[in-house]
Chains A and B, each alone.
Chain A
Amino acid sequence: MRLFYKTMQELKALIEKEIRLEWRQRYALNGMILYIVSTVFVCYTSFALKVKGIEPITWNTLFWIILLFTAVNSITKSFTQERAGRQLYYYTLASPQGIILSKIIYNIVLLLALSLIGFLIYAAFLGNPVQNLAMYLTAVILGAVGFSSTLTMVAGIASKAENTSTLMAVLSFPVILPMLLMLIRLSKNAMDGLNWSTSYDEILTLLAIDAIVITISYLLFPFLWRS
C-alpha cells in the first residue's frame, strides 16, 4: 500500500513537471493548434470549396489522417525536448516505470485536448455529418489514448537515433495501422448513426490493443531508459 502511494506521488510529480514544461514553452502548444487549423484549412480549400460537399467516407478518413499526423508531430518531441544531461538527472531521481507512465498519461491529456479542438475546427469548416455524436467522441477518445500510448514508446526508441522525425514516422505507422483501421470502422458506424450494440466488437478490440500497448511499454521502457 505504501509502495502504491509512493508511485502515485512520483507519477503526480512527473506529470506536473510535464505540464509545467509545456506551459513554459507555450509556442509549441500554440504551434500544434495552428498545425491543425492550417491542415483543416488546406483540406477545406482543396475539397469543400471546389466540390459541393464531401463524401462521408472521405470526411471520416481525412479527419483520422489529420489526427494521426498531429499526434505524430506533437509526441515526437516528448523525449527530445529535454537535453541528455537532464534525462540523466531524472534517471537518478525517478523509476523508469514512473517516467513512461507519466509521459503516456500526459500525452493522452494533450492529445485529447488537441483532437477535441481538432474535431470542433474540422466540423466547423467541413460540416458535421455525424449522427451518433457520443459514439464518435468515444472513438476520438479511444483514438487519443491508443495513439499517444503507442507513439510515446516509439518516440522513446526514435529519440535515441539521429534522424528522429523520419524514424518516428517509419516506425510508428505500421504499428499504428491496426488501431487506425479499427478507429475508422468505429467512427464510420457512429457517422451512420448505428446502434451501440453493433460496435461493441470494435470498442473491445480497441480497448484490448490499448491495454496491450500500455503493458508492453511499461515492461520494455526500463530497457530503453538504461541505454
Chain B
Amino acid sequence: MKKTWWKILCVVLLFYTIIRGLIGIVPRQPILNETIRNVYFHVPLWFGMMTLMTASMWFAIKYLRNGNIQDDEYSVEFANVAIFFGILGFMTGSLWGQYTWGDWLPKDPKIIAVEVGLLIYSSYFILRSSFEDEQRKARLSAIYNIFAFATFIPLVWILPRLTDSLHPGNGGNPAFGKYDMDNAMRMVFYPAVIGWTLLGVWITSLHIRLRIIERVSSN
C-alpha cells in the first residue's frame, strides 16, 4: 500500500479537474467563450504526451547502456500510451478548433508537428514488428527511438515559432498565460496537468506489468 498514494492523488486531481472544469467559473473571452474549458483537457494531454515520450526515450537510453530487457518494455509501453494521449489530444484539439477557428483541421504548424510525431511513433512500432529476435528488436528500436526524438523536438519547438500559427503564444497571438487565464483558471490548470500525466504513468505501469507477466509466463 506504500505506493498507492500517487494513484489516489491522480484520481482526486482528475475529479477536481473535471468538476471544476465543467461547472467552475471561467472568464468570458471573445470567440473562445465557454470552450476555454477545453484548456483543462486538451493542453494537459499534450503535456502528458511529451512527458511520456521523454520517459520512453529515457528508458531507451537506459536499455542501450545496460541491455536489460525490462527497460525496453518500459520504453515501448511509454511510447504506446504517448500515442494514445496524442490521439486524445488530437481529438480534443480538433473539436476545439471547429468551434473557435471554424475548421476541424486548420493548417497549423503545431498540428503538423503533432501529426509527424504520431507518424514517427507509428513507424517505431512498424520497426519493432519487423524483427523476430528480442534483443535485436529492443536494441534497434531503442536507437530509432532516441534518433527520432532528437529530430522531433526541434520540430515541435522551432517550427511553430517560425511560421504563423493559430495557437496562442505563436506568430503574434498572445499566450494563454498572459491574457486569457486568470488565477482561478490556473488553480485548475496546473493540477490538471499533474493529474493527466499521472494517469498516463498509471496506465503505462499496468501495461508494463501485463507485459512482464506475459514474458515470465511464456518462458
Contacts and interface: CB of A to CB of B under 8 A. Distances in A.
B217 interface: no
A82 B120 CA distance: 28
A76 B118 CA distance: 24
A109 interface: no
Interface string B129-164: 011000110011011101110111011001100110
B123 A178 contact: no
A167 interface: yes
Interface stretch (A26-34, A48-56, A67-75, A153-161): A153-161
A10 to B, nearest CB: 23
Contacts of B146: 216, 220
Given A167-B127, A209-B151, A216-B147, A178 B136 contact: no
Interface centre among B112, B123, B147 (most CB of A within 10 A): B147
A205 B162 contact: yes
B162 A213 contact: no
Interface stretch (A87-95, A118-126, A136-144, A168-176): A168-176
Contacts of B210: none
Given A157-B144, A201-B162, A205-B162, A223 B151 contact: no
A212 interface: yes
B136 A160 contact: yes
A70 to B, nearest CB: 21
Interface size class of A (residues with CB under 8 A): 20 to 34
A173 B154 CA distance: 16
B136 A212 contact: no
A25 interface: no
Contacts of A181: 112, 159
Given A163-B130, A201-B162, A171 B144 contact: yes
A19 interface: no
Contacts of A154: 144, 147
Interface size class of B (residues with CB under 8 A): 20 to 34
B127 A208 contact: no
B116 interface: yes
A173 B119 contact: yes
Contacts of A223: 64, 139, 142-143
Contact of A175 (B126, B131, B147): B147
B113 to A, nearest CB: 8
Nearest to A178: B155
Nearest to B144: A157
Contacts of B131: 160-161
Interface centre among A167, A177, A202, A217 (most CB of B within 10 A): A177
A224 B158 contact: no
B127 A171 contact: yes
Contacts of A208: 154
Interface string B80-106: 000000000000000000000000000
Contact of B140 (A173, A201, A216, A224): A224
Contact of B154 (A153, A171, A205, A224): A205
B154 A209 contact: yes
Nearest to A172: B123
Given A161-B127, A162-B130, A174 B154 contact: no
A46 interface: no
Contacts of A161: 127, 130-131, 140
Interface of A: 150, 153-154, 157, 160-163, 167, 170-171, 173-175, 177-179, 181, 185, 201-202, 205, 208-209, 212-213, 216-217, 220, 223-224, 226-227
Interface of B: 64, 112, 116, 119-120, 123, 126-127, 130-131, 135-136, 139-140, 142-144, 146-148, 150-152, 154-155, 158-159, 162-163
Given A170-B123, A174-B148, 19 more contacts: A157-B140, A157-B144, A161-B131, A167-B130, A171-B126, A174-B119, A175-B147, A177-B119, A178-B116, A179-B151, A185-B163, A205-B162, A209-B151, A212-B151, A212-B154, A213-B150, A216-B150, A220-B143, A224-B139
